[in-house]
Amino acid sequence: MTKKTLRFPYATRLNGFKANAAKVWPGRNRITSLDLVERAATVDGLSAVDFNYPDHLEDTNPREVKQRLADLGLGLNGFAMRYYSEPGFKMGALTNPDPAWRGKAMDITRRGIDALAETGGNLMTLWLGQDGFDYSFEADYLRLWDQTAEALSQLAAHNPAVDISVEYKPNEPRAFSLLPDVGTTLLMVLEVGAKNMGVTIDFAHVLYADEMPAYAVSLVHRKSRLLGVHLNDAYGKRDDGLMAGSVHLVQTLELLYVLDRIDFSNAIYFDTFPDAVGLDPVNECGTNITAVEGMMRMVDKLRGNQQLAAAIARQDAVASQRILQSVLFPAP
């Protein structure tokens, strides 16, 4: 399998490559971000990686990252902001009740955008997990909304050449996220109205939000820009980070079918957690890639199928399932 023959550029979460660190780096007390990149580079078919900011840049700098990626033949899919390193952000980042902490969140994010641009990337993903609420009578909801909209507007304006993508999740760590689902997130993005802003869909988050992944992607494509697709799987009760297609095979296939229809060409990013139970992250990531490639071969068989199109048009689930079964379970 070579990168030239693959259907998508494939990117991955770096933290998963910490799995079984003592075996991979015996005697090492400290594993750096670039160590993780080097291990990820051994995955057959992997095109790019993402860095969390600021934690993945604490032991390196944009120049070193750019050079090492070039040496390894990897691209940079983008940066993802993380605010969990600062205890003060537990009450919120962009909506923290303390203006000093809100200002600090903005400063860190601007520095992240600058570091991303210096590294040669142009996609900053914002997961605002700390921005939300836990109790009734805790928050002035519209004030939180206005603070978020103003902050996102300023961040988008900081460098118009960098795309700002909002990744939603129903909850965790807050009981309620301010941006918990596709509709609310689109409402925010449309209100901000920045040309360099869009949405990242995370498959497990979508399931967690009780949404249909292909529907969520379709809405984002209709009303905004689909800047990122984080592929994984889950049982819908939490963010499990399982391998792509391992639980919701048909829903994943439909998602890929829709991505094919809208000509999505950005990276498929595997946000999976092999480190949670000590799986080999190289084999796990490779399995994600072969799973998507295999499902895309099924998409090839469904593309242009007039019977399927007709069944969907008349909402005939029995007919569409029969057609799907002919691809999934071909007759001997």
Task: Write out the two tokens for 297.
Answer: 């071969």
pLDDT given at position 2: 54
pLDDT given at position 5: 87
Task: Write out the two tokens for 331.
Answer: 């007759």
CB 42 within 8 A of CB 86: no
Q: Which residue ranges form the domains of the chain, and what is each CATH number?
A: 3-304 (3.20.20.150)
Query: H/E element holding 21?
Result: helix 21-24
Q: How far apart are CA 197 and CA 273, in angstroms?
A: 27
Phi, psi torsion values for 247, nearest 5 degrees: -120, -55
Per-residue pLDDT of the chain (332 residues; tens, 9 = 90+): 555 689 999 999 999 999 999 999 999 999 999 999 999 999 999 999 999 999 999 999 999 999 999 999 999 999 999 998 889 999 999 999 999 999 999 999 999 999 999 999 999 999 999 999 999 999 999 999 999 999 999 999 999 999 999 999 999 999 999 999 999 999 999 999 999 999 999 999 999 999 999 999 999 999 999 999 999 999 999 999 999 999 999 999 999 999 999 999 999 999 999 999 999 999 999 999 999 999 999 999 999 999 999 999 999 999 999 999 999 999 88
- Residue 148: which residues within 8 A CB-CB, separation 6 or more? 94, 95, 128, 131, 178, 179, 188
Q: How far apart are CA 26 and CA 15, in angstroms?
A: 18
